Amino acid sequence: MNLKKRLDIFDRLAAAIPEPTTELHYTSTFELLIAVVLSAQATDKGVNKATAKLFPVANTPGDILAMGETGLKEYIKTIGLFNSKATHIITLCRQLLDKHAGEVPQTREELEALAGVGRKTANVILNTAFGRHTIAVDTHIFRVANRTGIAPGKNVLEVERKLDKWVPKQHKKDAHHLLILHGRYTCIARKPRCESCVIEDLCEYEHKTGHHDDDTAKGATSRFIE
């Protein structure tokens, strides 16, 4: 796939999705961080249901730390892996208070040093909260990048590096959410909705009828990265 075709793809996605943003609900950078940590191997819808009850009660590092691990679990127990996530979040809150005056840091190194925060979560925060041109590769983006031919790769880090290299500069900031939303609602895993896809004629997917059961993400290493 050449640069001209990639530009056309992102131009069309940007026109079709005029306000690309996360579907997680939050009102502060800290709330976003907690929501993203909770979203690993969970749906945004499920996370939003839990945080709708949690955040009105506790939405600062101090509030959640005071709640304790047991108290926090009561609010997030409907989310997958809630036990380990509660442990991570309590530690994360303590780290923010001890090392960052309760504020979410703005560098990758500092973010990745927080409990429960890996490369993907750091990329989401850097992009969504701080406007950096980072692309967090989740299963949707991994699938879309491989299936369309935009940035094929054997693992998420390879796909991330190719996207960083090949996404047109003017679309770098929004590429993350454009690809996630396209993968979530159109280029879905089992039967992509090619008939309603705005980039169908540009896409290099070999089975555009939608009859082929293709989930490219099955081949990903580290399928879910924190």
Tell me the catalytic residues.
120, 138
CA pair distance 17, 21, nearest whole angstrom: 9
CA distances from 24 to 38, 177, 186, 226 (A): 10, 12, 19, 16
CA angle 181, 3, 202 (to 5 degrees): 55
Rounded Cα distance, 56 and 33, in Å: 16
Burial group, residue 155, by CB count within 10 angstroms (0-12, 13-18, 19+): middle
Conformational region of residue 120, where left means phi above 0, alpha means psi within -120 to 50, and beta covers everything else: alpha
Alpha carbon separation from 38 to 32, 76, 140, 147 (Å, rounded): 10, 8, 17, 28
